[in-house]
Amino acid sequence: SFDLDFLASKLNFSNDAIFKYIGVQTLYERYLVKIQEQLIETPQAFWMRVAMGLAILENDRDEKALEFYNLMSSLSFIPSTPTLFHSGLSHPQLSSCYLSLVNDDLTHIFKVIGDNAQLSKWSGGIGNDWTRVRATNAHISSTNVQSQGVVPFLKIANDTTVAINRSGKRRGATCAYLETWHLDIEEFLDLRRNTGDDRRRTHDMNTANWIPDLFMQRVKKSEAWTLFSPDEVPDLHDLYGKVFNARYEHYEREADAGRMKLYKKVDAVALWRKMLTRLFETGHPWITFKDPCNIRSPQKHVGVIHNSNLCTEITLNNSTDETAVCNLGSLNLSNHVQNSALDQEQLAATIKTAVRMLDNTIDLNFYPTPEAENSNLRHRPIAMGLMGFQDALFKLRLPFEDENALEFVDATMEFISYHAIASSSVLAKERGPYKSFEGSSWDQGAFPLDTLDELEKERDVAININRKKRMDWNALKEFVATWGMRNSNVMAIAPTATISNIAGCFPSIEPIYKNIYVKSNMSGEFTVVNDYLVEDLKQMGLWTEDMLEQLKYYDGNIDKIQTIPIELKALYKEVFEIDPILLLKMTALRSKWIDQSQSHNVFMQGTSGKKMDEIYKAAWEMGLKTTYYLRTMAVSQIEKSTLDAVKYYFTQKRTSQNEPVSSIPTALGQNSGNASPGDKTPASPVTSYRDLMEPDCEVCQ
């Protein structure tokens, strides 16, 4: 039904040269279609196949396919991996994330586990809410026995995840969420530990805490916290804000009066410290916040957000009848910086086309479960994010720690938000609003910035984020009031683990990890060098063999290389040199404009528990909805076996003349590919780091 001759004539083979090696290798290994191991796609044919798949329901499908192709082929916008895998094929499962809840019922528990298998089979990333399942030792009336709690079922869900591999392209990936008042929460915190009964461990499944504001308030006041079994407090999980607080305190009074069968009083500070300790030890469970997710949701009129997704950026309501679904894609911000300035006209055009592409996925999608189809067709959420933020700062010559970088974050996200909302409303004018629009925050004229005030009101505490605006939001609100919104949600920032490799930019909103390192993922190992730094050094006449050796020696950290000018040292600071609180402030500024959330990794150098406590309390105080992995780095570094042994004394660190001490920097949350501290194994030419986002998080993007 397409004009194949016309579309074939429009393939731009010069765009093959845009790819970096890692990008085209990643495409070759995992994205280009093969039949019986025989490659049948080239990169440009691949982009056109995806574009045609997304345009097949358009009236002017040839022109729209070409529009979509040009956007992707230029690497200006890239949809998520499931869309790239399946668009234009016989089972177009194009969605990235599925959020389901598990009822306290044996049949439903195994239904959700079966759904997980189907969703994983088609490359979906899964977030399961397990809070409704009754706790250990709770009474089961039908069999007159005591429950074994939630942990044995989590073990089954974990093993189901392991069993689904997508034919080597990617492994299945699931995240389990549990609310902080659940009586099994302390066992839940231990699920990723390498000690204890392995039958009660889930080494292959991610976990996340779903934390109500009341718990954080109790921590700050050093007060007690009560754990309950959900069968005795059945309404608690569906409440949030002040209503939750009142009901929770009612149940505490009931427990004190002896009218509750199962409960446990704990010290809130002690439980918080255990959360942070397990996070440091295992990278799990992640810290996510229930109340900001719900209070700031545009869809609170139709349901409750019970959990986030695999990568903590999707915040959509779900129920027994609705498995929340989200369709992701990311702008490559780097491609929209021209002549040392953000090209707003180009960016606005990209956003308009990208929103249309993402909306198309909803009607085209192959839904593995009816609950997913019910939800997606009713609410039509999409999640447009961004990547290449660090590239954009490099092109603008803006260090992360420069005050102007904060202004750039705020202004750029406002611009993206404005045009994303406007594009969805324009689509509503053309195609009609989503079914549950009436009564939504959009319908009531409350946009993401306005919901910050709602969160302040519920907390009775000021949220210290400026409310600065630069665009005509009143005009946009009038347009939305007239035509509605095509999509219940339009923005979320995912990790972009794999698609940023394809695009040849730095992932998501992250600062540069290292200026030189070896990246390892399912496609192989790649030496990654900061091209921007190399180009600057070349222009200054400083790019020499000696400079390369010094970069290897210092693991890419240029602060101690005396010949490099101070302005370059500021520009090319690595993430562990940047204050994690500053990065939280940037995420908080973006959160003003985003209707969902962001995959915010916390990077912390050293082992200070006090610093961890400050970071995560700051995240809550700033009103952040979620955080993602904790990444820590040790002070000492690994031996460099390819450096001159005499010149570099065989090792970077020594405690004495003859005793080398080295350790691979630890990226907590990544349980493979990292040696333990003290490992003396010689390194490759540069330190080898397991890719921070692989393999789980690539399911999102």
- What distance lies between CA 100 and its chain's CA centroid? 17
CB proximity list for 353: less than 8 A, separation 6 or greater? 67, 68, 71, 77
Measured distance between the N- and C-terminal CA atoms of the chain, rounded to whole angstroms: 30
**The CA-based dihedral angle spanning residues 226, 232, 234, 236, taken in that order and rounded to the nearest 10 degrees:** -20
83 three-class SS: helix
77 three-class SS: strand
Q: Label the pairing between strands 286-289 and 206-211.
A: parallel
Angle, to 10 degrees, between the axis of helix 213-220 and the axis of helix 268-282?
Answer: 110
- Tell me if the bond preceding 298 is cis, omega within 30° of 0: no
Supply 1's token pair: 């039904």
Catalytic residue among 309, 317, 487, 501: 309
DSSP labels for 312-358? S-------SS--EEEEEEEEEGGGGEETTEE-HHHHHHHHHHHHHHH
Residues recorded for the chain: 701
Q: Label the pairing between strands 630-633 and 602-605.
A: parallel
Distance between CA atoms of residues 601 and 630, nearest Å: 6
User: Which of 697, 87, 34 is CA-nearest to residue 78?
Assistant: 87
User: Which of 429, 176, 448 is CA-nearest to residue 297?
Assistant: 448
User: Is residue 515 annotated as part of the catalytic site, yes or no?
Assistant: no
CB atoms closer than 10 angstroms to residue 576: 18
Supply 419's token pair: 């045009």
Neighbour-count burial of 560, counting CB atoms closer than 10 A to its CB (0-12 exposed, 13-18 middle, 19+ buried): exposed
Please, are residues 583 and 405 in contact by the beta-carbon 8 Å criterion? no
Distance between CA atoms of residues 154 and 386, nearest Å: 33
* 8-state DSSP, 488: S
Please, are residues 83 and 334 in contact by the beta-carbon 8 Å criterion? no
224 in the Ramachandran plot: left (φ > 0), alpha (ψ -120 to 50) or beta? beta
Catalytic residue among 232, 313, 371, 698: 313
Kind and range of the H or E run holding 27: helix 21-30
User: Is residue 567 annotated as part of the catalytic site, yes or no?
Assistant: no
**The CA-based dihedral angle spanning residues 248, 252, 254, 255, taken in that order and rounded to the nearest 10 degrees:** 140
For residue 502, give Cα distances in angstroms to 215, 463, 499, 659.
41, 38, 5, 43
Supply 326's token pair: 């989200």
Kind and range of the H or E run holding 431: helix 403-431
For residue 223, give Cα distances in angstroms to 154, 246, 297.
30, 16, 29
For residue 188, give Cα distances in angstroms to 109, 260, 282, 671.
17, 22, 12, 18
φ, ψ of residue 626 to 5 degrees: the values are -150, 160
User: Is residue 700 annotated as part of the catalytic site, yes or no?
Assistant: no
Supply 321's token pair: 């009848």
Catalytic residue among 97, 175, 293, 311: 311
Active site residues: 309, 311, 313
